[in-house]
Structure 1
Amino acid sequence: MKKLNKIFILGTSGSGKTTLAKNLSEKMNISHYNLDDFFWYKRFSKKRNPKKRDSMILSILKKRKWIAEGIYGFWTEKFVKKSDLVIWLDYSFGKLSWRNIKRFIKQREKKSDENLKNLIRIIKYVKNYRKGVHGGSYKSHKEIIDKHQINLVIIKNNKQLKEFMKSLDEKRLK
């Protein structure tokens, strides 16, 4: 099996991209990057200059090792093409909705500026992810993945995620 130095994690809001990226980063000692940090200058309120963010993305893609996660359609293909492994977190709408509600409650407890409008917007986005045709939709992600011969793991539930993590441990011990 090819060494996994470049991993891209794909999935809609609440799928667990950031958590998985952090876990893999610690386990494999590889830096991880959240594409939200490149898209937004001020998290979820002020977008970064497109030239600046594209330059930042290119600098990541040139690195020998990285773990990146995100859903932005216009960057997905660049990361998919460069990846040794693509992990697609493809949970049910019910699971994703529940996770986004839990995240909202936790952030409210931390006195975050999260509000109910944002939660509703996110749940609508998640609901439309499979129906949509925009760059960050299920359809566009599937087209990108189908277009390239890649090492792909699709995870649809927590049991599959645990099995995947266990298989990584076993491969690293051999």
Structure 2
Amino acid sequence: MKIIILGNAGSGKSTLSKRIISREPAARLSLDEVAFHDDAERRPLKESIADVEKFIQSNNSWIIEGCYSNIIEAVLHKCEELIFLNPGVETCIAHCRSRPWEPEKFNSRQEQDENLSNLIEWVRSYEHRTDEYGLSSHKNLYDSFRGKKRELKNTAEYEIV
């Protein structure tokens, strides 16, 4: 299994990847782990891609998930399936509001909650963004992929993956 899951923040990428792995064990990489330095500064793209390449080479079965189309584009040809989660901005915002504490990203639940309004503002801009995080970039990547792919627009569809 070699799957890439692409979508907006809050679209359900981590939840879906964990659900798939619970049925069929595989290594999992959230691109958040390779996209940034320890602080909020974005790493050079080549460094992030090199780390993803190492992850792929080190694992026979894997899921990579994230919103970074510029990183995904560099390794997309190595996946067997692309899943594009596109449930709509309001669903993503609802997921962000209800997500449990993510200790791999925040030192405390309080720190995570203090960042919530910034995250929601960022998620809300998804349909209008023109960078690698936006809907148009994700849709272009999805449309250009010639392998097995699925665009899921309703969270109920996540259950059948």
TM-score (norm. length: structure 2): 0.83
Q: Which moved more, 1:147-156 or 1:59-68?
A: 59-68
Number of aligned residue pairs: 156
80, 84, 87: which is aligned to 1:84? 80
**Distance change (3 Å), C-alpha of 1:111 and 1:122:** closer
Return closer, same or farther for 1:140/1:28 CA change in 2, 3 Å cut-off.
same
Residues 75 and 49 of structure 1: CA distance in aligned 2, closer, same or farther (over 3 Å): closer
Bigger-Rg structure (1/2): 1
SS of match in other structure, 1:153: strand
Tell me which of 51, 55, 65 is aligned to 2:61.
65
Question: Which structure 2 residue ranges, 5 or more long, are not aligned?
Answer: none
**Residue 75 of structure 1 corresponds to which residue in structure 2?**
71
Give me the whole-angstrom Cα distance separating, in 2, the residues matched to 1:64 and 1:100. Answer: 31
Q: Which amino acid aligns with 2:140?
A: E
* CA-to-aligned-CA distance 1:79-122 (integer Å, 9 cap, x gap): 33221111111112221111111227x579x5441244x22222
What corresponds to 2:7 in structure 1? 11
CA distance in 1, matches of 2:60, 2:30: 17
- The runs of at least 4 consecutive aligned structure 1 residues that moved more than 6 Å come to none
Give me the whole-angstrom Cα distance separating, in 2, the residues matched to 1:69 and 1:120.
Answer: 23
Q: Is this contact kept in 2: 1:93–1:127, CA < 8 A?
A: yes
Question: How many angstroms apart in 2 are the aligned matches of 1:76 and 1:38?
Answer: 12
CA contact (8 A) 2:8 2:67 kept: yes
Letter in 2 for 1:113: E
Aligned counterpart, 1:45: 40
Change (3 A) 1:119 1:111: closer
Shift of 1:50: 5.1
Q: TM-score, normalised by structure 1?
A: 0.77
Task: Report the identity percentage.
Answer: 24
Aligned to 2:111: 113
Q: Which has the higher contact order (CA 8 A, sep 6+)?
A: 2
Contact 2:2–2:78 under 8 Å retained in 1 = yes
Question: What is the aligned partner in structure 2 of residue 103 from structure 1?
Answer: 99
Instruction: Report if aligned partners of 1:80, 1:145 keep a CA contact under 8 Å in 2.
Output: no
Q: How far apart in 2 are the matches of 1:146 and 1:111?
A: 37
- Unmatched tracts of structure 1, length 5 or more: 166-174
Cα 1:142–1:56, aligned 2, differ >3 Å: closer, same or farther? same
